[in-house]
Amino acid sequence: MSAKTDLAVTMCGVRFRNPFILSSSPVSNSAEMVEQAYEHGWAGVCYKTLNSGSIPMIHPTPRMAVYDYEGKREVGLQNVEQISDRPLKDNLADFRYLKKKYPDRPIIASIMGFSNDEWAFLAKAAADNGADMLELNFSCPHMTVEGSGHKVGQAFSLCEKFTDTVKKVVRIPVLAKMTPNITDMTEPAIFSKKGGADGISAVNTFRGISSIGLDDLVPHPNVFGVGAMSGYSGAAIKPIALHFIAEMAQCPELGLPLSAMGGVETWVDALEYLLVGATVVQVTTGVIKYGYRIVEDMIEGLADYCEAKGIRKAADLVGKALPNLKTTDHFDLARQGIAQYDLDRCIGCGQCFIVCRDAGGQALEWQQKRRRPKLVEEKCLSCMICSFICPVPSLISFKEMPKDWKRKPTRVMAPEMIDSVKLQGGTT
Amino acid sequence: MSVTGSFTTMETGFGLVQALAEADRCLLCHDAPCSKGCPAETDPGTFIRKLRLRNVKGAIRTIKTNNALGGACGVLCPTSRLCEKECSATGIVRPIAIGKIQRFLVEHAWQIGFEPLSRGPSRREKVAVVGSGPAGLSCAAELAKEGFAVTVFEERSEPGGVIRWGVPAYRFDKAFLANEMATFENLGVKFACNKRVDGAEGAKKLLADGFSAVFLGPGLWAAERLTGAEKVKGVRTSVEFLAALRGKGLDALAKEVAGKTVAVIGGGSVAMDCVESALKLGAKDAYLVYRRSFAQMPAETDERVAALELGVHFLVLNQPVKYLADGKGKLKGLKLVRTRLGKPDASGRRKPEPIKGSEWVLECTAVVEAIGNRADATDWSAIVKTDDAGLVVANRKTGKTSSRKVFAGGDIVRGPALVVEAVQDGKLAARAIGAALSQEVKA
């Protein structure tokens, strides 16, 4: 790892030694756990959502379920985890312990109130006991108490109201944490900004159903015969979460620093969040899968990337991909291309032929004897699905075609029937 | 002391998780070359795809419908030179473990109690199957699926033929065979054990007794011998040795071999089975004597390497000259002569030539001759055409012999061959029998 690269970032005036922090979840449930994480290199913690004790907090059991894909375990994770079930004083004492032992590792206190007063109470309690920042949990997708969790995040005026309440009682920066279970995240984010939010955290988990028991017909996790739609997270949700972050980063009206999360396991995942505008990246499911140690590879990997690209400060990466992220009407449609095949390396599995025939442009012929595909260039749609299924790395690549190149129209089975086609009103 | 444990039971195969992980590596080829590499038309391209898409019962159905002995083939097939040799994934890392996936699927069927084969609508014709080895069993299953009343005649006390009496239990054990045999019971195949069909006369009697057709699949149960072997105590054929391993003689054999030096003559798969077994039974030293070179051995590469790793001493380029016995006729050594490879012989392999004056004696108390199986004295020539070696002459695609009502397949037609080839013979003969009998009904 290069000593030249400075991985530190500053969010809302709070400095983090690197952009990687634990998100509010089971992985940040106690100081005993957070301390272990710090030893591996995590820059800070968004501590598990505090509970004032006004409502008894009992976790359902079992509390999580998994989504596997083919032979791959834990591509997604579903949980019915509640906010902290520890007494408020225990958590706050843990804050004090952490701040004393690790003064330069920021604590972001996640809070959730069940009333306006409770929001204020928890905010002040956290700030008074060492929290460097607050994260307002407007987004837990499986809270059933009215006016809590993602029901706040979906009722935009409440985002504004509770942020305002909190801002009135604390001086530390306040982040509002968004739910992805809406259409346009910029709206609740802007409402939160109106309430005084200093930054936005996103995304909380998606409402999901990871799987259903095929014998008992109970969706998982099976809590003694009952399943429930609840928070779904992990690698499977990353592309969707990434777009939410980019959308907020590109919203001029919002203009707040972003704390991003959703399916981060590697430095590449984290880097992509930085590139679309996140300042820090939070992680839970990656830790549930691999343990706190993954941060070592995130730190090393990001530093090496920065060095290879001549980037002195990781902070300079924030938002760097945004200028290249536009709406589809910006595409230059005059430029066209096709897939090209390096058949010297082909092993003859023929999966390209199958997908092109069944889902592409029928641009491939199968040479039975040689067991190799043959591309009819004029029929190639450049969808590139053949390259996604091809087991040989970069055997199939994209190639731009000359300006005068023309794609052959899709075959009409019975051209003589075109004349008999009925179209209502108007000509073609 | 009785021999148990790893000598009498097979290693466990893949579980569901391993099988799925292996299936996930499969490239699901468009024109799956593995499916063209099987002598018995097994279709791994389809059953692996079905497994991959969690259509597990469908995968089992694909295997068993084509081959009632899918388990035996999954375990015993030299897959590395059949289906797996053709695997496209070799171009990425290594071939898919097709045999292991097949074995898993068959075992999984037993575990979940799934039996895809069932007896067809009953037909009145009876068919006799002679021999309960892979060829006979495969033929019986195929006929039972068509509804024929099938009786399998077996000379020995239990069915299975070579997969019961001709391979060591650590490669194919009794429990596995018993599970495989359940399919045949389910199909309503009748077994007449301890019932020898005595050559042509026996076959004729079956036809006279009301069987509409006879399938001959008796296998090869005599062995080639070296000169003078019969007179020496302590020299056995591979057939005798392996059958003793699988029968009541096991403990006595173990006692005889333990702590002693054993030599096995031959370079094929059977020789490997014998020499490994000798070592596993506690032989102090087990030698494999082969007159050609290591690379020329007919045994599969993995079998040869496994034997080497187990501690077998390979004596290649050594040719037996004669047995040495003590005054009581008991073996005390094997006289060998070293060879060098000369010009290619009729088999295309360089011929071993003895080196004059290089004779030496390997002291040993037991020798197993594993130099090839041949037809026993049973004479079929009065009902079907046979060749000089006593093998039955039959069409490879139909099993048809010179006699209209007699069909044949497996080793008795091919000479020593693979289980999977015998399976195919039985299947094809069953189809021909079915067609012939159906035609008779119409006529």
Q: Do B31 and A392 touch (CB under 8 A)?
A: no
Of residues A351, A366, A368, nearest to B28 (C-beta) = A351
* Range name among A146-150, B98-102, B150-154, B176-180 with the lowest pLDDT average: A146-150
Task: Report whether pLDDT(A70) > 90.
Answer: no
B230 touches chain A (CB under 8 A): no
B121 part of a folded domain: no
Residues B213 and B191 in one domain: yes
- pLDDT tens-digit profile of A287-317? 999 999 999 999 999 999 999 999 999 999 9
Q: Do A70 and B52 touch (CB under 8 A)?
A: yes
Angle at CA B26, nearest 5°, toward B23 and B28? 115
- Is there a cis peptide before residue B167, judged by omega within 30 degrees of 0? no
B387 touches chain A (CB under 8 A): no
What is the phi/psi pair of residue B58, to 5°?
Answer: -60, -40
DSSP-assigned beta bridge partners for residue A207: A231
- Is the Cβ–Cβ distance between B411 and B131 less than 8 Å? no
- Is the Cβ–Cβ distance between B139 and B430 less than 8 Å? yes
Q: How far is B392 from chain A (nearest CA, A)?
A: 37
Tell me the Cα Rg of chain B: 23
Choose, out of B27, B30, B57, the residue to mutate when testing the contact with A (most A CBs < 10 Å).
B30
| Cβ neighbours, 10 Å, residue A120 | 19
Task: Report whether pLDDT(A407) > 70.
Answer: yes
Q: CA-nearest residue of chain A to B29?
A: A349
Chain A residues touching B91 at Cβ < 8 A: 347-348, 392
A426 band by pLDDT with thresholds 50, 70 and 90: low
- Quote the strand ranges of B242-382, DSSP E: 261-265, 285-290, 313-316, 318-325, 331-344, 350-354, 360-363, 366-369, 373-374
Q: Do A366 and B91 touch (CB under 8 A)?
A: no
- pLDDT tens-digit profile of A198-245? 999 999 999 999 999 999 999 999 999 999 999 999 999 999 999 999
Three-state SS for B241? helix
Task: Report whether pLDDT(A428) > 60.
Answer: no
- In this prediction, residue A420 carries a pLDDT of 94
B27 touches chain A (CB under 8 A): yes
- The pair of structure tokens assigned to A147 is 């006016």
> In the 8-state DSSP scheme, what is residue B113?
T
Chain B residues touching A368 at Cβ < 8 A: 31
How far apart are alpha carbons B161 and B137 in whole angstroms? 9
Domains identified in chain B, total number: 3
Q: Do A391 and B92 touch (CB under 8 A)?
A: yes
How far apart are alpha carbons A152 and A160 in whole angstroms? 10
ipTM of the complex: 0.82
Q: Do A354 and B30 touch (CB under 8 A)?
A: yes
Residues B362 and B275 in one domain: yes
Chain B residues touching A342 at Cβ < 8 A: none
Q: How far is CA A297 from CA A1, A203, A303, B202, in A?
A: 10, 23, 10, 76
Tell me the Cα Rg of chain A: 26
Chain A residues touching B52 at Cβ < 8 A: 70
How far apart are alpha carbons A82 and A57 in whole angstroms? 7
B296 touches chain A (CB under 8 A): no
**For tokens 């330069």, what's the residue?**
A104
Q: How far is CA A246 from CA A231, A305, B44, B359, in A?
A: 22, 21, 46, 85
Residues B244 and B327 in one domain: yes
Chain B residues touching A70 at Cβ < 8 A: 20, 24, 52
Task: Report whether pLDDT(A2) > 80.
Answer: no
Q: How far is CA B252 from CA A301, B2, B64, in A?
A: 65, 9, 38
B2 band by pLDDT with thresholds 50, 70 and 90: low
How many beta-carbon contacts under 8 Å exist across A and B?
43
- In this prediction, residue A4 carries a pLDDT of 77
B2 part of a folded domain: no
Q: How far is CA B429 from CA A167, A375, B122, B396, in A?
A: 87, 44, 19, 9
Q: Do A348 and B88 touch (CB under 8 A)?
A: yes
Q: Which of B245, B244, B243, B279 is nearest to B264 (CA)?
A: B279
From B70, B88, B112, the end of a domain falls on B112
Residues B265 and B367 in one domain: yes
Residues belonging to chain A with any Cβ–Cβ distance to chain B shorter than 8 Å: 70-71, 347-351, 353-354, 366, 368, 371, 391-392
Choosing from A12, A140, A346, A390, which is the catalytic residue?
Answer: A140
Q: How far is A213 from chain B (nearest CA, A)?
A: 15
For chain A, what percent of residues have pLDDT higher than 90? 92
Q: Which of A259, A272, A268, A266 is nearest to A285 (CA)?
A: A266
Of residues A71, A347, A350, nearest to B91 (C-beta) = A347
- Is the Cβ–Cβ distance between B278 and B286 less than 8 Å? yes
Residues B245 and B352 in one domain: yes
Three-state SS for B128? strand
How far apart are alpha carbons B210 and B126 in whole angstroms? 7
Residues B277 and B400 in one domain: no
- In this prediction, residue A427 carries a pLDDT of 57
The whole-chain average pLDDT of chain B stands at 95
Of residues A70, A347, A353, nearest to B88 (C-beta) = A347
Chain B residues touching A392 at Cβ < 8 A: 91-92
How far apart are alpha carbons A240 and B322 in whole angstroms? 80
Q: CA-nearest residue of chain B to A71?
A: B21
B325 touches chain A (CB under 8 A): no
Q: How far is A386 from chain B (nearest CA, A)?
A: 13
Q: What domain range is B203 assigned to?
A: 126-220+375-442
- Is the Cβ–Cβ distance between A80 and A223 less than 8 Å? yes
From B112, B135, B153, the end of a domain falls on B112
B328 part of a folded domain: yes
Stretch B324-337: mean pLDDT: 95
- pLDDT tens-digit profile of A11-47? 999 999 999 999 999 999 999 999 999 999 999 999 9
Q: Which residues contact A345 (CB under 8 A, 6 or more apart)?
A: A392, A395
How far apart are alpha carbons B139 and B408 in whole angstroms? 10
Three-state SS for A237? helix
- In this prediction, residue B384 carries a pLDDT of 97
B5 part of a folded domain: no
| Cβ neighbours, 10 Å, residue A214 | 7
Stretch A164-174: mean pLDDT: 98
Q: CA-nearest residue of chain B to A348?
A: B88
A146 band by pLDDT with thresholds 50, 70 and 90: confident
B117 part of a folded domain: no
For the four alpha carbons of A348, A352, A355 and A358, in that order, the dihedral sign comes to negative
B6 part of a folded domain: no
Q: CA-nearest residue of chain B to A367?
A: B31
For chain A, what percent of residues have pLDDT higher than 70? 99
Which letter, b or e, does each residue of A171-183 get, where b requires 16 or more Cβ atoms within 10 Å of its Cβ?
Answer: ebbbbbbbbbbee
B321 touches chain A (CB under 8 A): no
B88 touches chain A (CB under 8 A): yes
Q: Do B92 and A353 touch (CB under 8 A)?
A: no
A55 band by pLDDT with thresholds 50, 70 and 90: confident
Q: Do B21 and A349 touch (CB under 8 A)?
A: no
- Is the Cβ–Cβ distance between B362 and B287 less than 8 Å? yes
From B373, B401, B420, the end of a domain falls on B373
B392 band by pLDDT with thresholds 50, 70 and 90: very high
Of residues A70, A347, A366, nearest to B30 (C-beta) = A366
B71 part of a folded domain: yes
Q: At what angle do helices A88-101 and A31-40 cross, to 10 degrees?
A: 30
Q: CA-nearest residue of chain A to B52?
A: A70
Q: Do B30 and A350 touch (CB under 8 A)?
A: yes
| pTM of structure | 0.89
CATH code of B59's domain:
1.10.1060.10
Chain A residues touching B28 at Cβ < 8 A: 349, 351, 354
Q: How far is CA A97 from CA A24, A32, A100, B192, B313, in A?
A: 18, 10, 5, 82, 68
Choose, out of A347, A356, A390, the residue to mutate when testing the contact with B (most B CBs < 10 Å).
A347
Q: How far is B20 from chain A (nearest CA, A)?
A: 6
Choose, out of A349, A353, A355, the residue to mutate when testing the contact with B (most B CBs < 10 Å).
A349
Residues B366 and B305 in one domain: yes
B3 part of a folded domain: no
Residues B101 and B143 in one domain: no
- The pair of structure tokens assigned to B253 is 């054999």
Residues B100 and B202 in one domain: no
Q: CA-nearest residue of chain A to B51?
A: A70
Stretch B103-117: mean pLDDT: 97
Is residue A386 part of the annotated active site? The answer reads no
Three-state SS for A79? strand
Burial class (CB in 10 A: 0-12, 13-18, 19+), B21: middle
| DSSP H or E run through B239 | helix B238-245
How far apart are alpha carbons A382 and A372 in whole angstroms? 19
Q: CA-nearest residue of chain B to A392?
A: B92
Q: CA-nearest residue of chain B to A354?
A: B30
Residues B349 and B390 in one domain: no
Three-state SS for A303? helix
A54 band by pLDDT with thresholds 50, 70 and 90: confident
Q: Do B29 and A71 touch (CB under 8 A)?
A: no
Residues B152 and B177 in one domain: yes
B91 touches chain A (CB under 8 A): yes
Q: CA-nearest residue of chain A to B87?
A: A349
**Which 3-state string (H, E, C) describes B41-108?**
CCCHHHHHHHHHCCCHHHHHHHHHHHCCCHHHHHHHCCHHHCHHHHCHHHHCCCCCCHHHHHHHHHHH
Per-window interface: B 50-79 vs A, CB < 8 A: 52
Stretch B305-319: mean pLDDT: 97
Length of chain B: 443
Q: Do B29 and A349 touch (CB under 8 A)?
A: yes
- B196: phi > 0 → left, psi -120 to 50 → alpha, else beta; which? beta
| Cβ neighbours, 10 Å, residue B252 | 10
* Range name among A111-125, A260-274, B84-98, B242-256 with the lowest pLDDT average: B242-256
Domains and CATH numbers, chain A: 9-324 (3.20.20.70), 332-400 (3.30.70.20)
Burial class (CB in 10 A: 0-12, 13-18, 19+), B272: buried
Q: How far is A353 from chain B (nearest CA, A)?
A: 7
Q: What letter represents residue A193's amino acid? A: K
CATH code of B320's domain:
3.50.50.60
Q: How far is B49 from chain A (nearest CA, A)?
A: 12
For the four alpha carbons of A360, A365, A369 and A370, in that order, the dihedral sign comes to negative
A424 band by pLDDT with thresholds 50, 70 and 90: confident
Classify strands B366-369 and B235-237 as parallel, antiparallel or unpaired: parallel
Q: What is the Cα B58 distance to its own chain's centre?
A: 27
Residues B356 and B386 in one domain: no
- pLDDT tens-digit profile of B35-82? 998 999 999 999 999 999 999 999 999 999 999 999 999 999 999 999
